Amino acid sequence: MCGRYSLYADMDFIQEEFDVIIPGTLPKRFNIAPSQDVLVVTADGGDRKAHLYRWGLIPFWAKDPKIGYKMINARAETVDEKSSFRGPLKTKRCLVIADGFYEWKREDKLKQPFHIRLKSGKPFAFAGLWDQWNHKGEIITSCTHITTMPNKLMEDIHDRMPVILNREAQDSWLDPSIQDTEYLKSLLVPYESEQMEAFEVSPVVNSPRNDVADCIVPLSNIST
């Protein structure tokens, strides 16, 4: 499960990294939580576009938008089987932009939060799906992240991790002409652990109200 992440990289760098123009300004976020608007990238006719979609996918057929609270993640193994994700997998794929994510490791009765990111410090893309819900004139465009089995770095922390797409996989994921389910699922694999790092952070991140830089500071730095 991926239930919290960060995106505090420079906006110009994000635009260059993902070949997209972000309209307006993008505030630095250190503790992004479900139900909040998140930065996603889609491709329409070959052109990449940036959007802010609500995190927690609401299927177009849903009767109650609250279902989105249960749809913050989709499992790679069954993404083509679930009615909520099967359609978007073919026609509504997106990149969810981040530069780190959080996971909690259970230690006895406590849960220790970790911040996980690329060693390069660069922003990256989660494999995502989106959908649009329209009910009596209320329109909500929402998204979800896809998760997979953990790599060697993550397996000691949690039994799932978000799918991080490399450059080549990003292009394929956004290509609307690709609808082969088996091929798309073949992209949903654990990222190379050698390119990632994880470190303990303060419990301040436990509350989504704390959207502050202290969330990403290594606990060892605070202790000293």
Residue 83 has pLDDT above 80, yes or no: yes
Residue 164 has pLDDT above 80, yes or no: yes
Distance CA 130, CA 133 (A): 10
Which residues belong to the active site? 2, 103
| pLDDT at residue 88 in the model | 97
Please state the domain extents for the chain.
Answer: 4-221
| pLDDT at residue 223 in the model | 54
pLDDT tens digits, one per residue of 197-217? 999 999 999 999 999 999 999
| pLDDT at residue 10 in the model | 94
Q: Is 19 helix (H, G, I), strand (E, B) or coil?
A: coil
pLDDT tens digits, one per residue of 108-160? 888 999 999 999 999 999 999 999 999 888 999 999 999 999 999 999 999 99
The DSSP string of 165-201 is E-HHHHHHHH-TT---HHHHHHT--PPPGGGEEEEEB
In terms of phi and psi (left: phi > 0; alpha: psi -120 to 50; beta: otherwise), the region of 19 is left
pLDDT tens digits, one per residue of 28-46? 999 999 999 999 999 987 7
Residue 86 has pLDDT above 70, yes or no: yes
How much is the average pLDDT of 45-51? Answer: 88
Which CATH entry fits the domain spanning 4-221: 3.90.1680.10, 3.30.70.100, 3.40.50.720, 3.30.450.20?
A: 3.90.1680.10
- What's the mean pLDDT when you consider all of the chain? 95
